[in-house]
């Protein structure tokens, strides 16, 4: 399976990853990056041969703005569909980063809305809702969905038959392989990581940082 990593700046010297998968008969895009980097991401898709009509599906690992910011635009431009877990769908539909999350205090919530809220034109209702155990074979992608709550209630991972895990923001490798520092529910995240230990995983492709071997994961 051919994987193209599209990396764009996030903040504080941290980068966000999108993954373009060469699937049977077309392409799958995992996450869509920030709206501020739309031209870069679109250019990378086209340079890889992913032209309008060739993108079979956009999969969002969760609803944060840096992962879903271009979902609506890319769906229109590449004539495709958007899939994600229902528990994060309100983030994309309403642009509300705190949707279905533990509520921060009012000042922090207003700050999040001001900095990270999606514009109305960048919001969309998902076409497909993914659940734990769903197969993606119908899209030419030999992988299954794993529900991995913690960073958000509707966070998911995608595990291929070759042992490659696309984990969204459950895990990261910015300084070292570890649980991502930003968690809505640490207890749920810990349970999600424990779930991974029973699965046939080899390489992890995180939302932030470089891919790493699961055996190198550092647990706090």
- pLDDT at 146 (0 to 100): 98
Q: Is the pLDDT of residue 105 over 90?
A: no
2-216: CATH topology: Metallo-beta-lactamase; Chain A (3.60.15)
Contact 145, 198 (CB under 8 A): no
Q: Where are the beta strands (DSSP E) in the chain?
A: 2-11, 14-23, 26-30, 55-59, 82-84, 128-129, 143-147, 156-160, 164-168, 171-173, 177-179, 203-206, 212-213
pLDDT of residue 18: 98
Summarised one tens digit per residue, pLDDT across range 5-19 is 999 987 767 899 999
* Average pLDDT over the chain, rounded to an integer: 91
pLDDT tens per residue across span 149-159: 999 999 999 99
Domain extents for the chain?
2-216
Query: For residue 97, what pLDDT band results from cuts at 50, 70 and 90?
Result: confident
Cβ 8 vs Cβ 15: under 8 Å: yes
pLDDT digits (tens, 9 = 90+) for 128-169: 999 999 999 999 999 999 999 999 999 999 999 999 999 999
Q: Which pLDDT score is estimated for 69?
A: 93
Dump pLDDT digits (tens) for 175-211.
Answer: 999 999 889 899 999 999 999 999 999 999 999 999 9
Q: What is the pTM of this model?
A: 0.93
């Amino acid at each position: 399976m051919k994987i193209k990593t599209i990396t764009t700046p996030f903040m504080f010297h941290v980068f966000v990853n999108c993954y373009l998968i060469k699937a049977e008969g077309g392409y799958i895009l995992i996450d869509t990056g920030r709206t501020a980097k739309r031209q870069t991401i679109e250019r990378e898709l086209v340079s890889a041969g992913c032209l309008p009509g060739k993108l079979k599906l956009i999969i969002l690992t969760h609803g944060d703005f840096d992962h879903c910011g271009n979902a609506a635009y890319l769906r229109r431009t590449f004539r495709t569909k958007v899939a994600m877990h229902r528990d994060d769908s309100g983030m994309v539909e309403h642009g509300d980063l705190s949707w279905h999350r533990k509520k921060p205090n009012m000042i922090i919530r207003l700050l999040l809305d001001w900095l990270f809220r999606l514009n109305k034109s960048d919001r969309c209702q998902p076409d497909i809702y993914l659940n734990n155990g769903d197969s993606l074979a119908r899209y030419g992608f030999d992988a299954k969905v794993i529900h991995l709550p913690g960073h958000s209630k509707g966070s998911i991972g995608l595990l291929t038959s070759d042992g490659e895990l696309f984990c969204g923001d459950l895990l990261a490798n910015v300084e070292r392989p570890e649980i991502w520092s930003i968690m809505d529910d640490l207890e749920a995240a810990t349970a999600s990581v424990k779930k991974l230990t029973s699965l046939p995983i080899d390489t992890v492709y995180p939302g932030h940082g470089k891919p790493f071997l699961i055996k190198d994961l550092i647990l706090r």
